[in-house]
Amino acid sequence: MRNYARFIPGEEIEEVEQWRFGAIDTAAQLLAAQVKARAAQADAAQTESALQQSYQAGFTAGLAQGRLQAQAALNVQMQDFLKTQAKEAGDRLAALFASAQQQLEQAEQAMAQDVLALACELARQVLCQELSVNRQAVLPVLHEALGLLGADCKTALVKLNPADLAALGEQIQHDFADIALNLRADPAVQRGGCVVASAGMVVDAGIARRWQHAVASLGLNSAWEVPDEHG
């Protein structure tokens, strides 16, 4: 086997093919494309990572902002709710106070009416007792009734309870000597009262009429109960 220094003899070359640089260029381009693709993938991965981080940061920030907004909205709703509850509680308390005040006033009025009715009943009993023991109780009543007829009255018809007429007839004639009195017994007239008539004018000074007038001035309507006069 020959040793060749720098050249190959022509007879030893069977075929010759012209050298083309296309394969090298293609490999270089392929390598460059691969490098570029890897760089693009790296950039895409970096971009994706940055986008993910940005998305995560935005999501976190948005979630925090949403929580703050939700908390603020909840606080507003709670304040509105508390205000509404406070107003409703205040309205209920005011209505309860007004109702209690009305009931108290009604109770006071009822109590006052009861006390007044009791006082009238006591007054009735005292008056009945006074009429039963004071035989002259009719005198001031007769004097007042005759005074209502006027100073020009010179004659009058006076109806008295038979017991009062029997006990006070002479004294009445004496006390009213300046007036011609026609005294007449009338069982319908209760003791302590009288009925006076003169010139078409009648003054009913009976106990029942005077009692009704007295209690009416107090806002009551209590008829006089005729006491037992058989004693």
Question: How far is it, in rounded angstroms, from Cα 227 to Cα 231?
Answer: 10
Residue 4's alpha-carbon distances to 8, 10, 19, 177, in angstroms, are 7, 12, 22, 197
Sequence ranges of the domains in the chain? 26-104, 134-216
- Residue 162 has what pLDDT? 93
- Residue 183 has what pLDDT? 93
pLDDT (tens digit, 0 to 9) for every residue of the chain, 231 residues total? Answer: 555 455 556 666 556 555 555 555 666 777 777 778 777 777 777 777 777 777 777 778 777 888 888 888 888 888 888 888 888 888 888 888 888 888 878 877 777 777 777 776 777 777 777 777 778 888 999 999 888 887 778 899 999 999 999 999 999 999 888 889 899 999 999 888 999 998 888 999 888 888 878 778 777 777 776 545 444
| Strand segments (E) across the chain | 155-160, 180-185, 194-198, 201-205
* CATH code reported for the domain at 134-216: 3.30.2320.30
Pair 169, 186: CB distance under 8 Å? no
- Residue 161 has what pLDDT? 92
- Residue 133 has what pLDDT? 72
